[in-house]
Amino acid sequence: MIKNEYHHGNLKDDFLTIAFDFIAKEDIEKLTLKILSDATGTSRSAIYRHFNSKDQLIETMIQKGFEHFDDFVSLALKDKNKPLIDRFYLSGKAYLEFAKQNSNLYRLLFGNKYANIREEIISIKDVDCSGFGALKAAVEEGQASGILKKEDSFYRTILLWSSLHGLSSLIIDGFMDIEKISDELYEKMFQDMLSSAVASKVKFLSSMPFGETLLKPKI
């Protein structure tokens, strides 16, 4: 059968939609340009006008994937109408939920397989780095307000991020079947993260009977 060429401006978006739909169910390693060609009824040359290799497709998927991740995770952090503790809590929950709902995409974004491509297009040292930048800004907001201890905000952000990444990875990779207790683990981890990050005076006040809810999310 002769494949039909698509002649519209959304063909690249169609390819990406198919690619993301594919990795929602299958491992990224099984994705090929031929799959895109077969799904759209187009020739390989039509794909090559947009992606000259699988690596170029992966690069675009990483860029788009981080945009999706940022929208999913950073929204709560940037909501200044909520108390800072609530924003940390909600964004952490969103982080875990993103990983659970998009396990293969999460592995693509944060795994080692395509780290060389990822590092060409994104760095946590970038101010606007997806998710990380919003978390660092929230940490610095907490430090300025006296809620969090004065320390290197970059390193504190890495510590918070690594805790979320570690729990997310354990959940989606089925380690010891901890997904069944993931909510309880997150609640405990959140309190541990706060305890190590809050200023001494806040920690002291939270230990008093009248301040026991200081470090608890009000949601």
Residue 167 scores a pLDDT above 50:
yes
- Cα dihedral 38, 43, 45, 49, rounded to 10, equals -60
- Comparing 67 with 6, the larger pLDDT belongs to 67
Q: What is the mean pLDDT of residues 182-201?
A: 92
The pLDDT assigned to 43 comes to 83
Cα–Cα distances (Å) from 218 to 1, 134, 182, 196, in that order, read 61, 21, 20, 20
Determine which of 3-7, 40-44, 118-122, 157-161 has the lowest per-residue pLDDT on average. Answer: 3-7
Residue 2 scores a pLDDT above 60:
no
Compute how many other C-beta atoms are within 10 angstroms of the C-beta atom of residue 62.
20
Nearest to 162 by CA among 195, 193, 123, 194: 193
What's the burial of 50, exposed, middle or buried (CB within 10 Å: 0-12/13-18/19+)?
Answer: middle
Cα–Cα distances (Å) from 136 to 74, 133, 139, 201, in that order, read 11, 5, 5, 22
Percentage above 90 pLDDT, the chain: 60
Q: What is the mean pLDDT of residues 36-61?
A: 89
Task: Write the DSSP symbol of residue 82.
Answer: S
Task: Give me the architecture of the 1-52 domain, per CATH.
Answer: Orthogonal Bundle (1.10)
N-terminal to C-terminal alpha carbon distance within the chain:
58
Residue 211 scores a pLDDT above 60:
no
The pLDDT assigned to 217 comes to 83
Q: Which three-class secondary structure state does DSSP give residue 128?
A: coil
**3-state DSSP percent of the chain in helix, strand and coil, to 5:** 70, 0, 30
Question: Could you tell me if residue 59 is left (phi over 0), alpha (psi between -120 and 50 degrees) or otherwise beta?
Answer: alpha
Question: Which residues on adjacent β-strands are paired with residue 138?
Answer: none
Residue 125 scores a pLDDT above 70:
no
**C-alpha–C-alpha distance, residues 114 and 100, integer Å:** 20
Q: Which three-class secondary structure state does DSSP give residue 198?
A: strand
Q: Are 45 and 7 a contacting pair, CB within 8 Å?
A: no
What are the residue boundaries of the structural domains of the chain, listed by start? Answer: 1-52, 54-211
Tokens 């109408």: give the residue.
Answer: 81
**C-alpha–C-alpha distance, residues 192 and 195, integer Å:** 5
Tokens of 63: 């860029």
Domain 54-211 in CATH 1.10.357.10? The answer is yes
Residue 213 scores a pLDDT above 90:
no
**What is the per-residue pLDDT across 89-123, written as a single tens digit (0 to 9) for each?**
999 999 999 999 999 999 999 999 999 998 888 77
What value does the mean pLDDT of the chain take? Answer: 87
